[in-house]
């Protein structure tokens, strides 16, 4: 009998605090050994990772996969294939942009039915906090959501059974309830008052370009919403996670709140780091999102904060749509970027290759912290004995130009098409099985499973 089902040989393994050339021994989907020269019995399958980096597979805490009902925007199969190709091995699906939204247990079941057997990598699910569903939160927590998401501004979308933003009462009372459940509330923090007023004014004045749109969602809108939510968090004891923070100003406020002892984390996304408002003006609605991508100065500030360890989590906010909704008038186009396949490559390429930001810090934000924050650690999130063998093998000594044909999304648009990527994911392993190879693509059979909030950590969510 072999000691290992697979040994990944001689990769530069990205650990919590260092990068070391090691062999990784894998058995039954778990990492069972890390060592300089693992002595394998004959016929042990070996993957040669010499000259390559082996990172923990990305744990992408922010993707919108649109099923049930809107699978023609993006589905579990195509979305998860793009993630596998991008070095992501676990993702957390957002509770909106599918119908019904995941705001009650029956909707969670519909979401799970859509995902089952379709996902190429493991997944967890967010529940939603919306006006009128406070009574549903406990049921959703018991059913296994890893946390709740709420919008402080209008999320867009059309129809009857859609996800709505919270009013202040819903937010406050929801936070009281979520505090009792011991889970995290993730917030899209933009002031609806500010952005809707500025948006209406711009439309009335005929201001319709990309930079006009960006001006309707200013830093003040983000800062106001962050401050209000932090006030409520202080009063309710609810743990908060701010998704897709786009300004250094908001990061500074969140850093102060942490120093005061609030249990709060902050995320940004690759597009706020890799793109500027000038790029948005050039690329057009394909690069439209909210909060918007800001000036080059903002962008550099975010990099400096990232290098200083001020961000906890990097996530994609992959919010895809049919290409037809990303064309035409900027103000009318869908707000949301398709980018999940490029997240790890952008962070490693722009962060490590171009700026020299250490890989362990990047891996912490891409994998360890999201896994920890959302109850998936110690199974997910790092390369350690006992963890799932979820790995991204990355070549940092190569570059390539991303083509639309490389994209595995349902709709092949992305603001990064035509961009030079400064590294490349060579292979992705999920629970020890290779799910992606640069040469042959994604393995045809989806083998991803649902992962729930882990009770193995700290005595569980109530602990």
Ligand X SMILES: NC(=O)NC(NC(N)=O)C(=O)[O-]
Contact positions vs ligand X (CB under 6 A): 64, 96-97, 155-157, 188, 244, 289-290, 317, 319, 335-336
CA–CA gap between residue 346 and residue 339 (Å, rounded):
10
Which CB atom, from 199 or from 447, has the smaller least distance to ligand X?
199
Residue 281: helix, strand or coil by DSSP? helix
Least CB distance to ligand X at residue 200 (A): 19
Partners of 372 in beta bridges? none
Which CB atom, from 194 or from 422, has the smaller least distance to Zn ion?
194
Under DSSP, the state recorded for 264 is E
If one asks whether residue 77 binds Zn ion (CB under 5 A), the answer comes out as no
The answer on whether 5 is annotated among ligand-binding residues is no
Q: Which does 447 bind (CB under 5 to 8 A by kind): Zn ion, ligand X, none?
A: none
Which CB atom, from 121 or from 325, has the smaller least distance to ligand X?
325
Binding to Zn ion in span 79-118, by CB under 5 A: none
The answer on whether 252 is annotated among ligand-binding residues is no
Under DSSP, the state recorded for 349 is I
What is the chain's Cα-based Rg? Answer: 21
Q: Which does 97 bind (CB under 5 to 8 A by kind): ligand X, Zn ion, none?
A: ligand X
CA–CA gap between residue 342 and residue 287 (Å, rounded):
14
Give the chain's length. 463
CA–CA gap between residue 13 and residue 54 (Å, rounded):
5
Asked if 309 and 294 count as a contact pair (C-beta separation under 8 A), the reply is no
Least CB distance to ligand X at residue 337 (A): 7
**The two structure tokens encoding residue 402:** 């991303």
If one asks whether residue 188 binds Zn ion (CB under 5 A), the answer comes out as yes
Q: What are phi and psi of 26, to 5 degrees?
A: -125, 130
If one asks whether residue 271 binds Zn ion (CB under 5 A), the answer comes out as no
Q: Which does 78 bind (CB under 5 to 8 A by kind): Zn ion, ligand X, none?
A: none
If one asks whether residue 212 binds Zn ion (CB under 5 A), the answer comes out as no
Which CB atom, from 188 or from 364, has the smaller least distance to Zn ion?
188
Please report the beta strands in 363-458, taking only residues with DSSP state E, as ranges in sequence order.
391-395, 400-401, 420-421, 424-430, 433-437, 441-442
Least CB distance to ligand X at residue 335 (A): 4
The answer on whether 51 is annotated among ligand-binding residues is no
The answer on whether 271 is annotated among ligand-binding residues is no
CA–CA gap between residue 56 and residue 130 (Å, rounded):
34
Least CB distance to ligand X at residue 244 (A): 6
Which CB atom, from 225 or from 368, has the smaller least distance to Zn ion?
225
Q: Which of 60, 67, 317, 390 binds Zn ion (CB under 5 A)?
A: 317
If one asks whether residue 9 binds Zn ion (CB under 5 A), the answer comes out as no
Which CB atom, from 56 or from 335, has the smaller least distance to ligand X?
335
Least CB distance to ligand X at residue 407 (A): 18
Least CB distance to Zn ion at residue 74 (A): 12
Q: What sign for the dihedral angle of Cα 305, 307, 313, 314?
A: positive
Which CB atom, from 157 or from 447, has the smaller least distance to ligand X?
157
Strands 19-27 and 46-48: unpaired
Least CB distance to Zn ion at residue 394 (A): 25
Residues 6+ apart with CB under 8 A from 354: 422
Least CB distance to ligand X at residue 135 (A): 24
Which CB atom, from 74 or from 317, has the smaller least distance to Zn ion?
317
CA–CA gap between residue 30 and residue 373 (Å, rounded):
21
Q: Which does 96 bind (CB under 5 to 8 A by kind): ligand X, Zn ion, none?
A: ligand X
- Cα–Cα distances (Å) from 111 to 94, 102, 119, 162, 341, in that order, read 10, 7, 12, 14, 22
- How many CA atoms, within 13 angstroms, populate the side-chain half-sphere of residue 243? 27
Binding site for Zn(2+): what residues are annotated? 62, 64, 149, 188, 244, 317
- Which positions touch Zn ion (CB under 5 A)? 188, 317, 319
Binding site: what residues are annotated? 62, 64, 149, 188, 244, 317
């Amino acid at each position: 009998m072999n000691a290992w089902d697979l040994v990944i040989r001689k990769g530069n393994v990205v650990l919590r605090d260092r990068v070391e050339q090691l062999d990784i021994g894998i058995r039954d989907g778990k990492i069972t050994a890390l060592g300089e020269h693992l002595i394998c019995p004959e016929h042990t399958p070996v993957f040669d990772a010499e000259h390559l980096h082996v990172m923990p597979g990305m744990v992408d805490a922010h993707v919108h996969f649109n099923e049930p009902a809107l699978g023609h925007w993006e589905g579990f199969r195509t979305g998860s294939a793009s993630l596998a190709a991008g070095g992501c091995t676990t993702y957390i699906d957002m509770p909106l942009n599918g119908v019904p939204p995941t705001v009650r247990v029956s909707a969670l079941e519909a979401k799970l039915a859509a995902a089952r057997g379709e996902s190429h990598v493991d997944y967890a699910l967010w529940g939603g906090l919306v006006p009128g569903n406070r009574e549903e939160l406990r049921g959703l927590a018991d059913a296994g959501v890893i946390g709740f998401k709420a919008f402080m501004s209008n999320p867009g979308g059309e129809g009857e059974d859609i996800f709505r933003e919270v009013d202040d009462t819903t937010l406050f009372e929801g936070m009281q309830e979520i505090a009792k459940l011991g889970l995290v509330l993730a917030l899209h923090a933009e002031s609806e008052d500010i952005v809707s007023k500025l948006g209406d004014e711009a439309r009335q004045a005929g201001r319709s370009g990309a930079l006009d749109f960006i001006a309707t969602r200013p830093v003040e809108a983000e800062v106001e919403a962050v401050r209000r939510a932090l006030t409520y968090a202080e009063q309710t004891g609810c743990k908060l996670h701010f998704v897709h923070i786009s300004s250094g100003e908001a990061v500074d406020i969140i850093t102060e709140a942490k120093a005061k002892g609030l249990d709060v984390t902050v995320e940004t996304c690759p597009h706020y780091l890799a793109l500027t408002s000038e790029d948005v003006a050039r690329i057009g609605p394909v690069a439209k999102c909210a909060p918007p991508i800001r000036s080059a100065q903002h962008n550099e500030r975010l990099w400096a904060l990232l290098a200083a360890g001020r961000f906890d989590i990097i996530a994609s906010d992959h919010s895809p749509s049919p290409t037809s909704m990303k064309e035409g008038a900027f103000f009318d186009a869908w707000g949301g970027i398709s980018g999940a396949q490029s997240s790890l490559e952008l962070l490693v390429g722009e962060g490590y290759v171009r700026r020299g930001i250490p890989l362990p810090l990047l891996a912490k934000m891409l994998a360890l912290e999201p896994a920890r924050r959302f109850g998936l650690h110690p199974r997910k999130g790092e390369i350690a004995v006992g963890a799932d063998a979820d790995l991204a093998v990355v070549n940092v000594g190569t570059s390539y130009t991303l083509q639309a044909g490389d994209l595995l999304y349902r709709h092949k648009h992305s603001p990064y098409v035509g961009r030079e990527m400064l590294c490349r994911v060579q292979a992705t392993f999920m629970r020890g099985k290779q799910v992606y190879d640069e040469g042959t693509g994604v393995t045809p059979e989806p083998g991803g499973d649902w992962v729930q909030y882990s009770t193995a950590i700290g005595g569980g969510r109530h602990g």
